[in-house]
């Protein structure tokens, strides 16, 4: 199925440019209103792991916070508002081998807002979204091999 998503794409290499040294997406970032509340939501409500909570800057006045689903290599940084960056409006996709089971699990948790599952036809994977308390969206997508 994934190869069908490339239909119509042309060779995007440019011989005038050096190849990228980037090999993977490691950290996605959400702007949130309160880091402690966000840590509690992601770890206690959704069951994710706290991967980092490190003070930095002048006298440790700032914090670098990362959470992730258990076993994930990629992490989600939870950043306070900075300049024009305000809470909400961001989205990421996470994968599961069983969208329906994960939907049943999270929709039964008090305080979790979800959309109804959709997709699953043709090249569109089955998915639903979770909206965090700050208005960011986590799209839970069926793993391609399991569709």
Please report the pLDDT score of residue 144 as a whole number. 80
Whether residue 115 contacts residue 123, with contact meaning beta carbons closer than 8 Å, is answered with no
CATH superfamily of 25-146: 2,3-Dihydroxybiphenyl 1,2-Dioxygenase, domain 1 (3.10.180.10)
Q: Which helix (H) or strand (E) holds 2?
A: none
Mean of the per-residue pLDDT values for the chain?
89
User: Could you state, in order of their start, the residue ranges of all structural domains in the chain?
Assistant: 25-146
Each residue of 66-82: pLDDT tens digit? 999 999 999 999 999 98
Model-level pTM greater than 0.75?
A: yes
* Rounded mean pLDDT, 92-121: 96
50-63 confidence digits (pLDDT tens): 999 999 888 778 89
């Amino acid at each position: 199925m994934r190869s069908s998503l490339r239909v119509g794409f042309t060779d995007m290499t440019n011989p005038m440019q050096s190849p990228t040294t980037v090999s993977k997406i490691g950290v996605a970032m959400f702007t949130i209103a309160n880091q402690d509340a966000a840590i509690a939501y992601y770890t206690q409500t959704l069951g994710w792991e706290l991967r980092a909570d490190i003070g930095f800057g002048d006298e440790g006045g700032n914090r670098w916070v990362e959470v992730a689903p258990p076993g994930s290599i990629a992490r989600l940084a939870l950043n306070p508002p900075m300049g024009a960056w305000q809470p909400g409006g961001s989205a990421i996709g996470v994968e599961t081998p069983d969208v329906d089971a994960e939907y049943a699990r999270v929709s039964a948790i008090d305080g979790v807002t979800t959309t109804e599952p959709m997709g699953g036809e043709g090249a569109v994977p089955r998915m639903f979204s979770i909206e965090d308390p700050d208005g960011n969206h986590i799209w839970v997508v069926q793993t391609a091999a399991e569709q």
